Amino acid sequence: MMRDPLSRTFAALADPTRRALLARLSEGEANVSELAEPFLDEMTLPAITKHLKVLEDAGLITKGRRAQWRPCQLNGEPLREAVDWMEQHRIAWEDQLDRLGAYLKAKQKGVRHGRKK
């Protein structure tokens, strides 16, 4: 079992069904039946419930209880943490790619002018 929150977030986001469920919840609260409906031709309600459990365990959604209704809501905090992590790495990779681009450009100029470096 993954204890690291970021690992749980990325593992939950790895599945297209779970990403679709999150996309639906980004439009507003919905109950389990409403969330499951678009998928019922392809999978069972218990399968959808398992996907929702993974999202809930990762902290990406919260499930409430109002009488018989189980409203689910998106929790954006784990997504913000994942975006922050990716942004730090994006900046580092862009810096490395910029340096590589400058190096290749300099090498290409040297070859064009008949010089080998």
Q: What is the pLDDT of residues 72-81, one digit of tens each?
A: 998 989 989 9
pLDDT of residue 9: 94
- Position 117 pLDDT exceeds 70: no
| CA–CA separation, 103 and 107 (whole Å) | 6
Structure tokens at 15: 């599945």
Report yes or no: 6 and 82 within 8 Å, Cβ to Cβ.
Answer: yes
| CA–CA separation, 44 and 48 (whole Å) | 7
| CA–CA separation, 32 and 78 (whole Å) | 21
- pTM confidence score: 0.72
How would residue 10 be classed by pLDDT, with cut points 50, 70 and 90? very high
- Write the pLDDT tens digit of every residue in 20-51: 999 999 999 999 999 999 999 999 999 999 99
pLDDT of residue 70: 76
